[in-house]
Structure 1
Amino acid sequence: MNYQAIIIGGGACGLMCAVQAGFLGKKILVLEKNARPGAKILVSGGGRCNYTNLYASPVNFISENPHFCKSALSQWTVADTIAFFESYGITGHEKTLGQLFPVSNKAKDIVDVFVSLCNDLGQGLQCNAEVKSVARENGSFRVSYLVNGMLTEVTAPAVVMASGGLPVSKMGASDFALRIARQFGMRVTETAPALVPLTITGKDADWFAELSGNTIFSRTWNDEIGFEENILFTHWGLSGPAILQQSSYWRPGETLLIDLYPGGEVLALISAEKVVNGKRSLLTLLSQLFTRKFAEALGKFLPVHKNLASLSNADLEKVQQMIHHFTVKPAGDKGYDKAEVMRGGVATGELSSKTLEAKQVPGLFFGGECVDVTGWLGGYNFQWAWASGFVIAQHL
């Protein structure tokens, strides 16, 4: 078979690229390391697959060049994603904050669409294929890969690197796309886990661990940005949507601030309650805002057993700071195996924003997570994967 392109990686970007290329009559071979395609799709959103976000726009992506993603996201929009899946029987329903899931709540349905289309379009899809090398010879590419211990070689005028990033190794994640980029002299921006839980060590570690399981709707922020969603106390520190979002903007050594009561003003609440019943304890009042366990835990820092009427100005200042400016200095993060995505990747300056082709290596394309474009939590990274797959398909 003469293939127009070889796609390395059968994830969201690679599958969309193969299908869109098929619509244009281009014959493609997809090489997937795992026993089945779409490994990260299948586990995303707890197996339900949050496949896009209604509000996705370039501002929801982190990159060395924040303008880079604009072209791809305008060529394949959220409306295009919704229409594409609807045309194959998948209707979306919004959960929270624009997050779109299949009505069936089955990620498998998303993968099945692509597998079925690849079959219908006659696209090659080889699983259990571990790519060992990519070489450029006489204007075409030679790709060597192992299947069941046997080395096979295939050539094509174009190669698409859609093999993802470093999270999660047990699903076959690797730095292969980054190594290929470097092999061809391309720059790679510094990589790090993103959308990842943060760890707390030192004197407060036990305090956080004892609160494991407590969830609080909060606002987190640093010098760059803030998010208002739930935080989750864990045995190792902090997680939950707000923390995962914030982690993408956090750097080691930095401090995070948390407003534990973003919907109100705790001193105003105390003042109003004192008029009604000044004998109530601070603990009782805080137990109305948080779980009893968390309110009691605040006793390490606040005079929770004092009644409201006897709180001094110094006490009130402590309450104000603790509730609205809870300060955390994470020790680190939980690493790639607990991260949703990778931050950084193939430098955007090495690629055409309109085609995602390497500027100095004609026929070599990079899409999806391996590129230095990282989305927020909530379907944004899938939208980038679909968009980059579509864009590449148009230019193979």
Structure 2
Amino acid sequence: MTANLIKQTHFDAIIIGGGACGLMCAVQAGFLGKRTLVLEKNDRPGAKILISGGGRCNYTNLYTTHKQFISQNEHFSRSALAQWTVEDTISFFETYGIEGKEKTLGQLFPTTNKAKDIVEVFTNLCRDLEQEIRLNAEVTAVKQTTDGFTVDVLQDGYPKTFTADKVVMASGGLPIQKLGASDFGLRVARSFGMQVTPTTPALVPLTITGKDQPWYEQLSGNAIFCRVWNDRASFEENILFTHWGLSGPAILQISSYWKPGEFIYIDLLPGQDITELISAEREQNGKKTLLNFLAGLFTKKFADALSGHLPVSKNLASLSKADIETIAQLIHEFKVKPAGTKGYDKAEVMTGGVDTDELSSKTLESKKIPGLFFGGECVDVTGWLGGYNFQWAWASGFVIAQNI
């Protein structure tokens, strides 16, 4: 990024990907006196950071443990998360002028609400530490040599070759192709004979098709606080009805645990008992219709939508035991069979990636190819919604920097 660096072609490490993991790795390596080259195929670094949290960047979560991550090896993330903790993240950003404020469920955002402030911390440090960032640089090949690696690049359409002792794959995953997402990191792993766990879109809206779609479509824009679960996970947050299905935080969370053909279940009144609520209201006003009663618990639009499923015209006093059982079943165990997801372009992350059995959990170095490291989203470690994936990115970037 500065004129005196242009001619350098050999580095201690080449970092492929200028996102959260790659930028943290470059900075931490710089603190240790190592010279790195960051190759980013977009025209600016940190593209995914800039759009995260609606441009506000939920950069960590106060409650992070290995338990908020999905992986074939549930313990794999433990070491990296212990080496670079949430407290380390908070302290790092505070050192460079970013104060955090907690929102719901431990989510930490910059007080400025500007994701670009997060990116600027890294770009400023890279400049000060003389870590080179090359933009519009698409890596075409990574090759091992007798004394390190060569990396072939197309930069602004011109071919270039760089060499390094180590290579770091921080190239992200498949979600959000418009930001340059690709499977390049997975292809590099496969080219070196490493196993890759199958990938799927995660933290992604779910679609409803067929005869049920009009019911969801009529509720488009309605948000309800719910508990959403299946036999693998459970989350209490808002769901959002859309013209094509379901979205909102709880749906994004459960999507990471959902497989095609399966049901998910929704408790529309978590922490309450609809049977007890009906009983109490019936004593006060038995003539109230079920429709009006439900309109007091939900929006009128949602209560109207339930009319096709429940005896909403009946007054509370005339509800039979079977009626109340039907109501309880629908309210507390609303059953949904999604048709699919909105795919990688609407997903925030992906599940799967470079198989954790291929990597040292302590260093994130390939067991088969010494000097080749994988971090961030291209590894089979996927966090929940709410800053967890950023914490993994910072932690994996830090860990790799200590070992390159």
Q: Same fold (TM over 0.5)?
A: yes
Question: In the aligned structure 2, how far is the partner of 1:255 from the partner of 1:169?
Answer: 28
Q: Which amino acid aligns with 1:241?
A: P
Alignment partner of 1:372: what SS? coil
Deviation of the 1:225 alpha carbon: 1.2
Q: What is residue 4 of structure 2 aligned with on the other side?
A: none
Question: In the aligned structure 2, how far is the partner of 1:167 from the partner of 1:139?
Answer: 34
Q: What is residue 96 of structure 1 aligned with on the other side?
A: 104
Alignment partner of 2:345: what SS? helix
Q: What is residue 19 of structure 2 aligned with on the other side?
A: 11
Q: What is residue 91 of structure 2 aligned with on the other side?
A: 83
Q: Which amino acid aligns with 2:232?
A: E
Question: In the aligned structure 2, how far is the partner of 1:5 from the partner of 1:262?
Answer: 51
Q: 1:271 pairs with 253, 270, 279, which one? A: 279
Q: 2:400 pairs with 379, 385, 392, which one? A: 392
2:168 paired with 1:160? yes
Question: In the aligned structure 2, how far is the partner of 1:274 from the partner of 1:290?
Answer: 18
Deviation of the 1:312 alpha carbon: 1.1
2:152 paired with 1:144? yes
2:114 paired with 1:124? no
The one-character-per-residue Cα deviations of 1:58-91 (angstroms, maximum 9, x if unpaired) are 0000000001000000000000000000000000
Q: What is residue 51 of structure 1 aligned with on the other side?
A: 59
Aligned ranges 1:104-253 → 2 under 5 Å: 104-253=112-261
Question: In the aligned structure 2, how far is the partner of 1:250 from the partner of 1:387?
Answer: 27
Gaps in structure 1 of 5+ consecutive residues: none
Aligned ranges 1:290-309 → 2 under 5 Å: 290-309=298-317
Q: What is residue 5 of structure 2 aligned with on the other side?
A: none
Alignment partner of 2:258: what SS? coil
Question: In the aligned structure 1, how far is the partner of 2:375 from the partner of 2:238?
Answer: 31
Question: In the aligned structure 1, how far is the partner of 2:298 from the partner of 2:392?
Answer: 37
Question: In the aligned structure 2, how far is the partner of 1:178 from the partner of 1:146?
Answer: 19
2:344 paired with 1:324? no
2:381 paired with 1:373? yes
Question: In the aligned structure 2, how far is the partner of 1:234 from the partner of 1:268?
Answer: 31
Alignment partner of 1:196: what SS? coil
Alignment partner of 2:105: what SS? coil
Q: 2:292 pairs with 270, 276, 284, which one? A: 284
Q: 2:269 pairs with 261, 278, 292, which one? A: 261
2:76 paired with 1:68? yes
Q: 1:334 pairs with 342, 345, 353, which one? A: 342
Question: In the aligned structure 1, how far is the partner of 2:195 from the partner of 2:255?
Answer: 24
Deviation of the 1:50 alpha carbon: 0.1
Question: In the aligned structure 1, how far is the partner of 2:195 from the partner of 2:292?
Answer: 57
Question: In the aligned structure 2, how far is the partner of 1:378 from the partner of 1:51?
Answer: 8
Q: What is residue 44 of structure 2 aligned with on the other side?
A: 36
The one-character-per-residue Cα deviations of 1:270-296 (angstroms, maximum 9, x if unpaired) are 101111110000011111111000001
Question: In the aligned structure 2, how far is the partner of 1:28 from the partner of 1:95?
Answer: 35
Question: In the aligned structure 2, how far is the partner of 1:62 from the partner of 1:24?
Answer: 31
Alignment partner of 1:304: what SS? coil
Question: In the aligned structure 1, how far is the partner of 2:383 from the partner of 2:115?
Answer: 19
Alignment partner of 2:385: what SS? coil
Q: Which amino acid aligns with 2:309?
A: F
> Alignment length, in residue pairs?
396
Question: In the aligned structure 1, how far is the partner of 2:246 from the partner of 2:233?
Answer: 18
Deviation of the 1:201 alpha carbon: 1.0
Alignment partner of 1:90: what SS? coil
The one-character-per-residue Cα deviations of 1:179-199 (angstroms, maximum 9, x if unpaired) are 000000000001000000000
The one-character-per-residue Cα deviations of 1:328-387 (angstroms, maximum 9, x if unpaired) are 000100000000001100000000000000001000000000000000000000000000
Question: In the aligned structure 1, how far is the partner of 2:374 from the partner of 2:44?
Answer: 21
Question: In the aligned structure 2, how far is the partner of 1:279 from the partner of 1:152?
Answer: 80
Q: Which amino acid aligns with 2:217?
A: A
The one-character-per-residue Cα deviations of 1:101-145 (angstroms, maximum 9, x if unpaired) are 000000000000000000000001000001111011113100000
Alignment partner of 2:58: what SS? coil
**Range that drifts further, 263-272 or 332-341:** 263-272
Alignment partner of 2:104: what SS? coil
Question: In the aligned structure 1, how far is the partner of 2:225 from the partner of 2:311?
Answer: 23
TM-score in terms of structure 1 length: 0.99
Deviation of the 1:208 alpha carbon: 0.4
Q: Which amino acid aligns with 1:43?
A: I
The one-character-per-residue Cα deviations of 1:289-327 (angstroms, maximum 9, x if unpaired) are 110000010001001111000111111111000100000
Q: Which amino acid aligns with 1:217?
A: F
TM-score in terms of structure 2 length: 0.98
Alignment partner of 1:72: what SS? helix
Question: In the aligned structure 1, how far is the partner of 2:368 from the partner of 2:241?
Answer: 47
Q: What is residue 3 of structure 2 aligned with on the other side?
A: none
Deviation of the 1:263 alpha carbon: 2.7
Alignment partner of 1:142: what SS? strand
